[in-house]
Structure 1
Amino acid sequence: MKQLTTTSTDERIRLHFLDGIRGLAALYVVFCHILPHQGENLPLWISLPTKLLRYGSFSVAIFIVLSGYCLMLPVTRSQTGYIPGNLFNYFKKRARRIIPPFYAAIIFCCVLALIILTLERFTTFQWREVQYDWFSPYFSFLDVILHFLIIHNLLPGSDVYIMNIPLWSVALEWQIYFLFPLVFLPVLRRWGLLSVIAIAFLIGLTPHYLFNNYMDPSRPWFVGSFTIGMAAAEIAFSQQPQLIKLNKSLPWGKLAAIFASVAIITEWKKLGVDAWIFETFASIAAACLIIYCTKIVIERKTPPLIMRLFEHPIAIALSTFSYSLYLTHGPVETLINHWLVTLNMSPVMFAVTLYLLSVGISLIFAYLFYLAFERPFMSGFLKKRKVKDAIS
């Protein structure tokens, strides 16, 4: 993800915090997907901190907002309303960035499933489904085809996600890549930001309200979150007088905290609020936070604690292979959980071991996966980014 943009004085800056946010959000998803398996009857020192791991969908909202922000930056900088270059190069870059690792993850799941099914056929081994498994070997040939076509999220129900559940958001983002230049930018040039956001939410919420929650498992309303990210880029860098005034007049850091609090409150299931509402609040909070951090960078102010966290070398290093981590952690965590269940450990020992092994092995496997299937297809700029450089 290229972090270069320009100020009004054409001074080049680097928005390192964007990478840190992405890396930490990916790690948070890993922890969130361990939570359902940690067990019960745990002491407070385990159960209390892990209550913070219930907002996994907020991380997806952050990913989508970041995507909208980063793709909109060159458009905003050009001040033409068009993507620099041509559409062919745009789609080529997007495809090289997202598809090869995605296909490699699908093949990895197929190989894993073949091994498990072979063991079931020729040995006494039996795969026992566990609630909240993020991977299952019992997917069909149709599931594989739909994943390769990157349309598996368009079908009703959740069975189509059993291959590797986290992959649903990759399909959604891929589809948004088409909406961005073909729908959102023309609407932006003709009618402005508010119209773009309104049309995006109309697209995203139509299946929910008109087709009986048809695509709810794949959260199509995140299409609206993408345009919220676009709006953040416009507010942060546009030279339009009304957007400059908006940028300077609002307390973006405080707004980020307020919208994040509202998202957390409305997520409380006893309130019965639709998921798109609290996930949209989370998206707005992420956009406000990004604008706030961008202003700090541009104005060369002393970064606050949260921004220093985003710019920490470990957070930057995580971002280097965060996409691979997101693609592969589901099967890794599922295998570790299935193995640990057979060891008859105490609840505390099981939970501690589960977190340590799941996070550690997920990170190691994801980094190796990144080296093999993600980094070779990156642009020259991204290839230069290495984990060891970030840490050092």
Structure 2
Amino acid sequence: MNDAFSGARRVDYLDGLRGVAALVVLLGHSLLVFVEPIITLNPSFTGRLAGLAVAIGKSPFGFLWNGNSAVCIFFVLSGFVMADFARQTSLSFPAQIVRRYIRLALPILLSSSFAYLLLGFGLLRNTEAAQISGGWLGLWYQFAPSWRTMAYEALAGTFLNGSNAYNPNLWTMHPELLGSFYILAIGLFRRWGVLRLALYLVMSLYYWNDYLPLFAIGALLRDVGQVQPLSARPSLSVATFLIGCYICSLPAAGPGVSLPWHWPLPVIFGADSVRYWHSAGAVLIVFALLHSPVLQRPFQSGYAQFLGRISFTLYLMHIPLLCSLGAWLIIHLSSVGYLGTALIGMPISVMACLLLSAIATPAVDGLGIRSSRFVGAKLDGVIGLLMPVRVATAGEGS
């Protein structure tokens, strides 16, 4: 049986995919900082260079920098991992919930503290840099720092309503925690596969206008296991993966922006059509990867595994660094022109984000992992003392 479906150990190629998705988010935000028209498709400067940037943004290679598609992949993977954890763990449900919350909240608190310190010491130069490079940088950190507000946002606000003043990426934490809770709760019905399937369907229909169905689909991929016709035909898996990459490249065209002929995808479900397409592409990518050893090998490489190890820290830390170091580079490289600033500043910023994340991961992500396991085990022990004869998990016994 493929390790992806055995639950016996971490699935290295899925860790690699998570790491590559984190890199995609970093590249997307770095392009917004240094070459904004590739993402927005609206020139923030004039000349042939602007037209080239827009043309690149409309190309079918956007899966390399499309952050929203990468976030959709994160959610599918979270559903898969949470379903696998729910099937394998002996922790009580309250301990599972607390463990998941701490696993997310502590790294968020540490990374938000980093942004708070940068803001407090006047090191966030994004507003000044936005006057040179484009408007996206100027959207953030337009307030005086408050440690109380920062702490509340990191520990509660981001989970309750998506509050993200100290880190724009935190909008994803509300669906991340809520989706995890749903999958862990559905996982209580261990033997009742049909009931779990029905609950995944109900969850998807109820939240059809949100990202939460991606958690249900990820969990379903864990429950269903391998689809033999797809696993037996490697070319079909590769084709499915490439179609997913193509769909994930669909740019978010704003008002008045037309897409070229190679984007015939119809508008579905109204104004937020792009999100539905990105969700579909993310599902195809994960689905194909689960069934293809050929596709799995690149994500098992040392580079992908390195990215996987630092992925959560990289996701949390890179925007404050782009708004400080990246903005500083834009200001001080302005004399070499727009193209020169991008060619020099973006590689430096990307490498700095990777380096900082690698250094900080043991403290940021490592602390979250260790603390969540410790508190989860302790809470489970307390529950065991209060309820010596624990009621078996619903349907448990498989």
TM-score by shorter chain over 0.5 = yes
Shift in Å, 1:268? 4.8
Aligned length: 335
Residue of structure 2 equivalent to 1:90? 96
Alignment of 1:64 onto 2:72:
no
1:128-277 matches, within 5 Å, as 128=128, 130=130, 131-133=135-137, 135-136=140-141, 138=143, 141=146, 143-144=149-150, 146-152=152-158, 155=161, 160-182=163-185, 191-193=195-197, 195-203=199-207, 205=209, 221-236=210-225, 251-265=236-250, 267-269=252-254, 270=258, 274=270, 277=273
Q: Which runs of 5+ in 2 are unaligned?
A: 36-44, 259-265, 374-398
Residue of structure 1 equivalent to 2:38? none
1:213-264 Cα deviation digits (max 9, x unpaired): xxxxxxxx11111111111112226xxxxx7789879955434433443454
Structure 1 residues 245 and 46: CA distance shift in structure 2, 3 A: closer
Any idea what SS the aligned residue of 1:161 has? Answer: coil
1:239-388 matches, within 5 Å, as 251-265=236-250, 267-269=252-254, 270=258, 274=270, 277-296=273-292, 303-304=293-294, 306-343=295-332, 344=334, 345-378=336-369
One-letter amino acid matched to 1:288: L
Shift in Å, 1:325? 0.4
Structure 1 residues 325 and 67: CA distance shift in structure 2, 3 A: same
Contact kept, 8 Å, 1:263 with 1:279, in 2: the verdict is no
Q: Distance in 2 between matches of 1:43 and 1:342?
A: 20
Shift in Å, 1:336? 2.5
Contact kept, 8 Å, 1:253 with 1:288, in 2: the verdict is no
1:197-221 Cα deviation digits (max 9, x unpaired): 342342352xxxxxxxxxxxxxxx1
Any idea what SS the aligned residue of 1:138 has? Answer: coil
Any idea what SS the aligned residue of 2:278 has? Answer: helix
Q: Distance in 2 between matches of 1:235 and 1:253?
A: 20
Shift in Å, 1:275? 6.5
One-letter amino acid matched to 1:71: M
Q: Distance in 2 between matches of 1:95 and 1:280?
A: 27
Find the partner of 2:31 among 31, 35, 40: 35
Alignment of 1:73 onto 2:84:
yes
Q: Distance in 2 between matches of 1:50 and 1:361?
A: 24
One-letter amino acid matched to 2:83: M
Structure 1 residues 354 and 6: CA distance shift in structure 2, 3 A: same
Q: Distance in 2 between matches of 1:286 and 1:322?
A: 17
Shift in Å, 1:163? 1.9
Structure 1 residues 333 and 364: CA distance shift in structure 2, 3 A: same
Q: Distance in 2 between matches of 1:22 and 1:189?
A: 27
Contact kept, 8 Å, 1:64 with 1:225, in 2: the verdict is yes
1:7-18 matches, within 5 Å, as 7=6, 15-18=11-14
Q: Distance in 2 between matches of 1:92 and 1:102?
A: 15
Residue of structure 1 equivalent to 2:263? none
Q: Distance in 2 between matches of 1:139 and 1:223?
A: 33
Shift in Å, 1:106? 1.5
Q: Superposition RMSD on alpha carbons, in Å? A: 3.9
Q: Distance in 2 between matches of 1:371 and 1:75?
A: 26
Contact kept, 8 Å, 1:101 with 1:373, in 2: the verdict is yes
Structure 1 residues 149 and 361: CA distance shift in structure 2, 3 A: same
Shift in Å, 1:92? 3.9
Residue of structure 1 equivalent to 2:118? 112
Q: Distance in 1 between matches of 2:126 and 2:93?
A: 49
1:304-356 Cα deviation digits (max 9, x unpaired): 2x433212210111111110000000010111232123222312210112211
Q: Distance in 1 between matches of 2:277 and 2:237?
A: 14
Q: Distance in 2 between matches of 1:247 and 1:126?
A: 48
Contact kept, 8 Å, 1:336 with 1:358, in 2: the verdict is yes
**TM-score if structure 1 supplies the norm length?**
0.71
One-letter amino acid matched to 2:141: S
Structure 1 residues 105 and 201: CA distance shift in structure 2, 3 A: farther
Question: Percent identity over the alignment?
Answer: 19
Shift in Å, 1:145? 5.1
Shift in Å, 1:183? 5.5
Q: Distance in 2 between matches of 1:247 and 1:43?
A: 44
One-letter amino acid matched to 1:163: Y
One-letter amino acid matched to 1:324: T
1:124-168 Cα deviation digits (max 9, x unpaired): x99537321274151665752541333336549xxx533210111
One-letter amino acid matched to 2:136: Y
Q: Distance in 2 between matches of 1:378 and 1:14?
A: 14
Contact kept, 8 Å, 2:329 with 2:341, in 1: the verdict is yes
Q: Which runs of 5+ in 1 are unaligned?
A: 206-220, 238-242, 297-302, 383-392
Shift in Å, 1:283? 3.2
Contact kept, 8 Å, 1:15 with 1:294, in 2: the verdict is no
Residue of structure 2 equivalent to 1:211? none
Contact kept, 8 Å, 2:322 with 2:349, in 1: the verdict is yes
